[in-house]
């Protein structure tokens, strides 16, 4: 009888221990997930009186300088291994390792303005100056993917289709992986910047003739207004939690800023240009570290 009672107590204790271990493991998984989401850093091209630089913002807005002494940095994007690629003045594409080691990936462009990687590691570059969309293999071999009238914003959907904003005509084009082009949207005036959310909706910062706003397009092309009341929204990107970050270039009476919008649309200021410690600072393009 005593042995049976001891066995019963042992099983009960063992069950309680397993339950507690399970709870601890679940809690650890939640903490790890939250920590990973919170640790995603935002990188922003910027210019001030000292020249071009790349800024790094932690999830809670702490700013540091990742690279400096650059010539007019514009669009930036990350590859799947965490290397940062930057469109820079002088027709260059610069590459930075996660530790900040800089090298030149490509030269000979006219005015590269935006960048995007496809799922197989090819880098696509919108060269605003030549009108071409270039495709670079991972080892740097360049081919011309398309020729347009002042291409700017680039973004890939999950199916591998490339979306391009064409400033010269106000169109947004959709290119299949094989290069077949169709018109996805039209009527824009001025700059066109693009990004996709995780559900496949295309977000566009641009003007349809009544102010510059952020619009949301469903995969089927249905357009709605997502955000307004900014001065000059430009580059935009999503973090892993589904929040949309938008650079507002500002105007003479207002400095540039970065806004953060939750999935349902409520927004707040994430960072201000012209801060007290760097009053000439102006933001450009942004991208989240994977």
pLDDT tens by residue, 113-140: 999 999 999 999 999 999 999 999 999 9
Q: CA–CA separation, 22 vs 116, rounded Å?
A: 42
Quick one: pLDDT at residue 13?
A: 47
Quick one: pLDDT at residue 274?
A: 87
Say if residue 43's pLDDT is above 90.
yes
Reading across the β-sheet that carries 151-156, which strands appear in turn?
A: 151-156, 162-166, 171-175, 181-185
What is the phi/psi pair of residue 198, to 5°?
Answer: -70, -15
Calculate mean pLDDT across residues 246-257. Answer: 86
Q: How confident is the model at residue 251 (pLDDT cuts 50, 70, 90)?
A: confident
Beta carbons within 10 angstroms of residue 158's beta carbon? 11
Q: How confident is the model at residue 55 (pLDDT cuts 50, 70, 90)?
A: very high
Quick one: pLDDT at residue 264?
A: 87
The alpha carbon of 51 is separated from its chain's Cα centroid by a whole number of angstroms, namely 23
Quick one: pLDDT at residue 32?
A: 40
Higher-pLDDT residue of 39, 140: 140
Higher-pLDDT residue of 46, 8: 46
Spatial CB neighbours of 27, under 8 Å, sequence gap ≥ 6 = none
Say if residue 11's pLDDT is above 60.
no
Calculate mean pLDDT across residues 58-68. Answer: 96
Q: How confident is the model at residue 17 (pLDDT cuts 50, 70, 90)?
A: very low
Q: Average pLDDT, whole number, for the chain? A: 89
Among 12-16, 91-95, 153-157, 243-247, where is mean pLDDT lowest?
Answer: 12-16
Say if residue 9's pLDDT is above 50.
no
Higher-pLDDT residue of 64, 14: 64
Question: For residue 222, what are the CA distances in angstroms to 85, 104, 282?
Answer: 32, 40, 33
CA dihedral 120, 245, 163, 133 (to 10 degrees): -70
Higher-pLDDT residue of 253, 56: 56
Quick one: pLDDT at residue 16?
A: 43
Say if residue 41's pLDDT is above 80.
yes
As a whole-number percent, the residues of the chain with pLDDT over 90 amount to 78
Q: Which of 41, 91, 64, 102 is nearest to 286 (CA)?
A: 41
pLDDT digits over 269-278, tens only?
A: 999 998 888 8
Q: Which of 90, 173, 61 is nearest to 124 (CA)?
A: 173
Q: CA–CA separation, 171 vs 219, rounded Å?
A: 16
Question: For residue 17, what are the CA distances in angstroms to 10, 11, 28?
Answer: 10, 10, 16
Among 26-30, 93-97, 117-121, 263-267, where is mean pLDDT lowest?
Answer: 26-30
- Prediction pTM value: 0.86
Strand-pairing partners, residue 196, are 202
Q: Which DSSP letter does residue 66 get? A: E
Q: CA–CA separation, 51 vs 49, rounded Å?
A: 6
Quick one: pLDDT at residue 1?
A: 46
């Amino acid at each position: 009888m005593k042995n049976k009672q001891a066995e019963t107590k042992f099983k009960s204790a063992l069950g309680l221990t397993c339950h507690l271990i399970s709870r601890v493991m679940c809690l650890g998984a939640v903490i790890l997930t939250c920590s990973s989401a919170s640790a995603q850093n935002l990188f922003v091209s910027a210019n001030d009186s000292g020249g071009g630089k790349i800024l790094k913002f932690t999830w809670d807005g702490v700013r540091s300088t990742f690279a400096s002494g650059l010539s007019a940095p514009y669009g930036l994007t990350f590859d799947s291994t965490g290397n940062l690629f930057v469109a820079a003045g002088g027709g260059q594409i610069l590459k930075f390792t996660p530790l900040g080691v800089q090298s030149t990936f490509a030269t000979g462009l006219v005015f590269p303005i935006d960048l995007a990687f496809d799922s197989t590691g090819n880098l696509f570059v919108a060269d605003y100056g030549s009108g071409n969309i270039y495709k670079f293999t991972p080892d740097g071999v360049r081919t011309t993917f398309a020729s347009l009238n002042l291409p700017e914003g680039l973004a890939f959907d999950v199916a591998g289709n490339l979306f391009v904003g064409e400033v010269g005509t106000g169109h947004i084009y959709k290119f299949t992986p094989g290069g077949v082009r169709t018109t996805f949207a039209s009527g824009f005036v001025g700059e066109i910047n693009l990004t996709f959310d995780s559900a496949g909706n295309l977000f566009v910062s641009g003007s349809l003739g009544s102010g510059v706003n952020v619009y949301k397009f469903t995969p089927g092309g249905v357009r709605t207004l997502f955000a307004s009341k900014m001065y000059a929204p430009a580059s935009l990107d999503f973090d892993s939690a589904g929040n949309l970050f938008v650079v507002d270039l500002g105007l003479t009476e207002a400095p540039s800023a970065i806004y953060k919008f939750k999935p349902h649309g409520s927004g707040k200021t994430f960072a201000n240009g012209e801060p007290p410690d760097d009053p000439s600072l102006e933001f450009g393009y942004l991208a989240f570290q994977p």
